[in-house]
Amino acid sequence: MEKDEIKKLLEEVSTTFAKVQDKKELEQIKVEYMGKNGKISLINQKIKDVPTEERKDFGIKINELKNEFNSLYKEKLEEIENKEINELLNKESIDVTLPGTKINVGNHHPIERIIESLETLLMSMGYDVVEGPEVEKDLYNFELLNLPKGHPARDAQDTFYIKGEEYLLRSQTSPVQVRCMLEKKGEEAIRIICPGKTYRRDEDDATHSHQFTQMEGLLIDKNITLGDLKGTFEEIAKMLFGKNRETRFRPSFYPFTEPSVEMDISCFNCNSKGCHICKGTGWITVGGAGMVNPIVLKNCGYDPEVWNGFAFGFGIERLAMLKYGIEDIRVFYVNHDLNVLKQFDRREY
């Protein structure tokens, strides 16, 4: 009778395993058959009731049942594990034919490009690049540059003052000239350019911004002429705008230079026919310059009987607008848009 039971269990075990789906069910079956009160364990206990002559045979049958169970169990476990691995592989597989993710690469801002190309040219002409603080003393920004308090030319540079009247946000990069001359104590020739941010209480419009960028230049030596300044400006204009762009000097006034000039470039937008950008004149002023005023030399410790030189100041935004055909200065700041930057080739200046 027990033998029949074993036979029945053998069949039952193989149909049960066939239905198993996962590891949890597999473990339940193990408990159900092989656990302490499992079906196989219980039938095993019946060996003591089997007549002695049949016991051996019974034992063999039970072992067969157990072996069968164990091998089915092993087989099923392997099958489930393989299935799990395959599922995982399918889920994590990489489709190498999919298009890749485009990585955005940084680019130089037009302002930076102009500064760098000016630096490269002027450094090749023996100039050093010098920087000064943006929070500056009135003394350096105005006073020693021959702009004493109450001087009408101060009004043209509507200034952001800090802490009363002593400190300000520099309205020009010219104070770096003063700092440099004071440092050299009137004893050495100087060739410097000073790029940097400047600030004025301007209303922002197409050509004005309350924060903008200038590059100052200063050359102090002996027997320097206005012709040296003109030659230098022409090199700069050619480098930035090519041979076709025309340049001119116009008499002007700056308290720190004597004589003073405006440095003009023919209008890029209308080829000097007259348009809204050049305000109908055909020319755009890109900077001011002149021979360093002897008063400034003296103020900064240089003997005007021995030393002379020239100074110039460029508006970098203006140069960038001319060079890249940008009509509104706000493109650089307020309406800042990556699509503008993306138009510039990374390698080309």
Q: Is the backbone peptide bond immediately before 259 cis, with ω within 30 degrees of 0?
A: yes
Cβ burial 287-298 (10 Å sphere, 16+ → b, else e): bbbbbbbbebbe
Query: Which member of 141, 159, 213, 257 binds ligand DAH (CB under 6 A)?
Result: 257
Nearer to ligand DAH, 263 or 331 (CB): 263
Closest distance between ligand DAH and the C-beta of residue 348, in Å? 29
Contacts of 349 (CB under 8 A, 6+ apart): 113, 116, 117
Compute the least distance from the CB of residue 287 to ligand DAH, in Å. Answer: 6
Q: How many CA atoms lie within 13 A of 102 on its CB side?
A: 3
* 174 is an interface residue for ligand DAH by CB under 6 A: yes
User: Interface with ligand DAH by CB under 6 A: which range of 71-79, 234-242, 250-258, 301-309?
Assistant: 250-258
98-136: string of b/e by CB count within 10 Å (b at 16+)? eeeeeeeeeeeebbebbbebbbebbeeeebeebebeeeb
User: Among 1-9, 46-54, 233-241, 253-261, which window interacts with ligand DAH (CB under 6 A)?
Assistant: 253-261
Residues 231 and 247 sit within 8 Å (Cβ to Cβ): no
Q: Which of residues 265-294 bind ligand DAH (CB under 6 A)?
A: 288-290
Comparing CB distances to ligand DAH, the nearer of 154 and 245 is 154
Q: Which residue has the tokens 């060996």?
A: 47
Stretch of 74-82, 100-108, 183-191, 310-318 contacting ligand DAH, by CB under 6 A: 310-318
Identified binder of ligand DAH from the candidate list 311, 316, 320, 329, rule CB under 6 A: 311
Whichever of 174 and 308 has its CB closer to ligand DAH, that residue is 174
Give the separation between CA 175 and CA 168, rounded to whole angstroms. Answer: 12
What H or E segment, with its residue span, contains residue 252?
A: strand 247-254
Assess 254 for contact with ligand DAH (CB under 6 A).
yes
Contact letters for ligand DAH, residues 216-235 (x by CB under 6 A): x-------------------
Report helix angle 226-241 to 316-324, nearest 10: 40
Q: How far is the CB of 198 from ligand DAH (least distance, A)?
A: 7
In three-state secondary structure terms, 214 is: strand
In the bound state, the residue with its beta carbon closest to ligand DAH is 313
Note the residues at the interface with ligand DAH (CB under 6 A). 172, 174, 216, 254, 256-257, 288-290, 311-313
